[in-house]
A and B are shown apart, each in its own frame.
Chain A
Amino acid sequence: MKKIFYVMSIVAAALIFTSCAKAPQAEIDAAKAALEQAKAAQADKYVEADFLAVQDSLNAVMVEIEAQSSKLFKSYGKSKEKLVVITTNATELVAKTEVRKEEIKTEVATAQTAVAALLEENNALVAKAPKGKEGKEAIEAIKVDLAGITTSVGEVDGLLAAGDLLGAQTKINAAQQKATEINTELKAVLDKAKIKY
C-alpha cells in the first residue's frame, strides 16, 4: 500500500512540477515590443515583406507556446530561443528600414541634382532652338513644361520634410523623366537644324 502511495506521490510531484512551467512572458513581451518599434519606424511600409515575415514568425511561436500550455508536460525552451531570434530580427528591421529610407533619400537627392542640371541644360537648348513656325509652338509648350518641372522639384522638398519619401521619390522620378524627354526632344530639333549645342 505504501509503495502505491510513494509512486502516486512521485507522479503527482512530477505533474505539479511540469504543469507549473511558465510561458516565457518576458521574451514574448520583448518580441512584441521590438515588432511594435519596427512598425513605428515604418518597417511595414519600407521593408514590408521582411516585416510580414517577422510578424508571422511571432504568430507561429505564439501558437507553439499555447500548444505547450495545453500539454500536461510543458516545455517552452525552443519557443524561448525562437523568441530571442524574433526579437533580434525585429530590432534589425528598424535598422533595415532606416537603411532603406537613406537609400531613397540618396536616390531623391541624386535625381534632384540631375533634374537641376537638366533644367539648366534645357533652358540653354531652348535659347538655341530654331524659330520656325512649328518650332515656335513647340518651344512655347516646352517652356510651360519646364516651369511645371520646376514646380514639381519644389514640391519634392516639401514631401521630404513631411517624411513622405516614397511620394518624393515618385515625384522626382516623374520630373526627371519629363526633363529627360524634353532634353531628347530639344537635341533632336537642334540636330535636325544642324545647330551645335
Chain B
Amino acid sequence: MLFMKVRKIISLFTYLFFAALVIFIGYSVYVYVTNKPPVEEISRARESLASAKNKKAGRYASETLREAERLYKWSMKEWETQNSKLFIFRDYALTRDLALKSINKSTNAGNEAKSVKDKLQNRVETELATLKKQITKFEKYYEHLALGQSVHRSFHRGKTRFLEAQIEFEKNNLQEAAKLTKKASEGITTAEKAAHIKLVEFYKNYPSWEKNTKLAYSLSGKGQTVILVDKLQSTCYILKGGKEFKSFPAEFGKSWMGDKMYAGDKATPEGIYKVIDKKNQSRTRYYKALLINYPNSDDQKRYDRMVKSGEISRRTGIGGLIEIHGDGGKSVHWTDGCVALENKEMDVVFSNCSVNTPVIIVGSRQPLEDYLN
C-alpha cells in the first residue's frame, strides 16, 4: 500500500517536473523567438555613422560625430554584455535605445557637416574674392611706394597665403583654406592700412606741391626752361612754354616718400631749387650731373627748428650735394637722395639746362583722390 502511494507520489512529481520542463522550454522558445537581438538597429547605426564620416563629419561636425561614435560603441558594449547572459535573461532594450540615439546623432552629424561645409565654402569663396580685389588694389596703388621692407614683406606674405588658400580651396580642404585666408587677410590688410597711412602722411604736403607745380608751369610759361620732378610718378619733366617738353623716368633715394630732413636719410628733397653747377663726365661719378642748391633757406630753417626741438642731433648734418645725374635706369630707387636718369636722357636734360635753371621737386602733381581713382 505504502509502495503504491510512493509510486503515485513519484509519478506525480515526474509529471509535475515534465510539466514544469515543458513550460520552461515553452517560455524559453517564446523568449528566444520574441526577444530579437537589435541587429537591424545596430546595422543602421553603423551605416549612419559611416555615412556621416563620408560626409566629412569628422572635420566639420566633430563633436556631434564623437557623440554618435560614443553611443554606437556603448550600444555594442551593451549588446556584448547582454549576449554574455543566458538568453532568457537578455534584455536588448538599452542596446536598441543606444543604437537609435546613435543613428539620430550620426544623422545630425551628417547634416551639420553638410551645413557647416556649405557655409564655410561660401565664406571662403567670398573672402578669397575680397582678397583678390585687395591684392589688385595694392599692386596698382601702393606696391611701388617706398613703404619699407616690413610693409612689402607683409603684403607678399599675405599674397602667398592667398595663393595657398586658393590651392586648399580647390582641393576642398575648406578648413585649411579658411585658416590661410585669415592669415592672408591679416598680411594684406596690415600692409594696405600701413600703405594708406603712409600715402596720406606723404600727401600732407600736397598744398605746397600744388602751389610749386603751378609755379613751375607759370615760370616756364614766362619763357624759362624749368625742371619739374614728380616723385610719385617717378618722372622728370622738362617744361618749356608752359607745357611738358620732355619727360623721363627718374629714380630717387630709397626713402623717397617724404621730404629730405638731414644727411643720410636717403630722401629726395621737395621744394624750389635751382641748378648751381653743371658737371661734365670729368667731374662726376654718375656720367653727368646738375648740382642743385639743397639745402635752400626753407630746408635750413626746418633743420634748425628740428635741431632746436631735439628731433635730430646737431651732430647729424643737413646733408647736401643733391644732383640730377646719370647712371639711372636701374629699376629701383637707389640714390642717396639725388634724381637719377638714364644717360641718354641725362644728355637731353643736361643740354637743356644752365646754371640757375629752376628745379622744382614735388611729391605729386595730382591730388590723392585722383591718384586713388
Indicate if B251 sits at the interface (CB-CB under 8 A). yes
Interface stretch (choices A33-41, A95-103, A115-123, A141-149): A141-149
B249, A63: Cβ atoms under 8 Å? Answer: no
A56, B46: Cβ atoms under 8 Å? Answer: yes
Evaluate whether A131 and B54 lie within 8 angstroms (CB atoms) in the complex, with A66-B79, A69-B80, A139-B331 already known.
no
Known contacts A70-B82, A148-B159, A170-B176; 12 further A-B pairs (Cβ under 8 A):
A52-B54, A60-B43, A70-B39, A70-B90, A71-B37, A72-B87, A133-B233, A136-B331, A140-B143, A140-B331, A148-B160, A177-B163
Evaluate whether A170 and B144 lie within 8 angstroms (CB atoms) in the complex, with A60-B46, A140-B332, A148-B160 already known.
no
B80, A136: Cβ atoms under 8 Å? Answer: no
* A132–B332 CA distance with the chains assembled, in angstroms: 11
Indicate if A178 sits at the interface (CB-CB under 8 A). yes
A52, B53: Cβ atoms under 8 Å? Answer: yes
Residues of A within 8 A of B164 (CB): 170-171, 174
Indicate if A173 sits at the interface (CB-CB under 8 A). yes
Q: Is the interface of B mostly helix, strand, loop or mixed?
A: helix
Interface residues in A42-79 (C-beta closer than 8 Å to B): 49, 52, 55-56, 59-60, 62-63, 66-67, 69-72
Please, could you name 18 A-B residue pairs with CB atoms under 8 Å apart, sorted by A? A52-B50, A52-B53, A62-B76, A63-B42, A66-B79, A67-B37, A70-B39, A70-B79, A70-B83, A129-B331, A131-B329, A136-B234, A136-B249, A141-B144, A144-B143, A145-B156, A148-B153, A170-B164
B32, A72: Cβ atoms under 8 Å? Answer: yes
Indicate if B339 sits at the interface (CB-CB under 8 A). no
Indicate if A152 sits at the interface (CB-CB under 8 A). yes
Indicate if B168 sits at the interface (CB-CB under 8 A). yes
* A171–B144 CA distance with the chains assembled, in angstroms: 26
User: Which residues of A line the B interface, CB within 8 A?
Assistant: 49, 52, 55-56, 59-60, 62-63, 66-67, 69-72, 126, 129, 131-133, 135-137, 139-141, 143-145, 147-149, 152, 166, 170-171, 173-175, 177-178
A131, B331: Cβ atoms under 8 Å? Answer: yes
Evaluate whether A69 and B83 lie within 8 angstroms (CB atoms) in the complex, with A63-B46, A131-B249, A139-B331 already known.
yes
* A143–B143 CA distance with the chains assembled, in angstroms: 11
Residues of A within 8 A of B114 (CB): none
Most buried by B among A70, A139, A148, A166: A70
A140, B144: Cβ atoms under 8 Å? Answer: yes
B234, A148: Cβ atoms under 8 Å? Answer: no
Most buried by B among A66, A72, A173: A66
- Cβ-closest chain A residue relative to B53: A52
Q: How far is the CB of B327 from chain A (nearest CB, A)?
A: 12
- Cβ-closest chain A residue relative to B72: A59
Evaluate whether A63 and B87 lie within 8 angstroms (CB atoms) in the complex, with A56-B46, A135-B331 already known.
no
A66, B83: Cβ atoms under 8 Å? Answer: yes
Indicate if B157 sits at the interface (CB-CB under 8 A). yes
Most buried by A among B143, B160, B235, B251: B160
Residues of B within 8 A of A66 (CB): 37, 42, 76, 79-80, 83
Indicate if B342 sits at the interface (CB-CB under 8 A). yes
Residues of B within 8 A of A166 (CB): 173
Residues of A within 8 A of B342 (CB): 131
Evaluate whether A133 and B39 lie within 8 angstroms (CB atoms) in the complex, with A72-B87, A141-B139, A174-B167 already known.
no
